[in-house]
């Protein structure tokens, strides 16, 4: 499950830390999808991008085997975003024309259907 840190334990959304622990205990994996689902394609400030992309430690503690992959919000990214994602993750999910075969940082996302 790819998640946004600002949405965990939020009254607007449905998952809290206990739910996430249950997912991990059921052999699920947690991965990161950004701080608040901002469109990273449009952000060029490295500090803001780093804040959006780096998974917070409190979430990492919930799944010590997870948080190895990132999913770009809106499936898009720019060069600065890509550089920062490479600092923190083994790979990333993309799509909508941004996916690239054999590029671990632009893997095509699984699509339902």
Mean pLDDT, the chain, integer: 89
Taking Cα atoms as reference points, which of 88, 100, 85 lies closest to residue 41? 85
**63-105 pLDDT tens trace:** 999 999 999 998 889 999 999 999 999 999 887 666 667 777 7
Is the model's pLDDT at 42 over the cut of 70? yes
> Per-residue pLDDT for 109 more than 80?
no
Residue 92 has phi, psi (to 5 degrees) of: -150, 150
Q: Residue 38's Cα: distance from chain center in Å?
A: 11
Spatial separation of the C-alpha atoms in residues 102 and 15, rounded to whole Å: 33
User: Which pLDDT score, from 0 to 100, does residue 14 have?
Assistant: 79
Q: Is 37 exposed, middle or buried (0-12, 13-18, 19+ CB in 10 A)?
A: middle
The predicted structure's pLDDT at residue 99 = 61
Can you list the domains of the chain with their CATH numbers?
Answer: 2-108 (3.20.20.370)
């Amino acid at each position: 499950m790819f998640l946004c840190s600002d949405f965990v334990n939020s009254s607007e959304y449905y998952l809290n830390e206990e739910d996430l622990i249950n997912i991990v205990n059921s052999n699920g994996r947690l991965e990161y999808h950004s701080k608040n689902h901002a469109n990273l394609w449009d952000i060029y400030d490295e500090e803001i991008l780093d804040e959006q992309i780096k998974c917070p430690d409190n979430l990492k503690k919930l799944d010590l085997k997870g948080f190895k992959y990132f999913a770009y919000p809106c499936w898009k990214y720019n060069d600065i975003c890509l550089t920062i994602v490479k600092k923190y993750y083994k790979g990333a999910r993309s799509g909508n024309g941004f996916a690239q075969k054999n590029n671990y940082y632009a893997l095509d996302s699984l699509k339902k259907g």
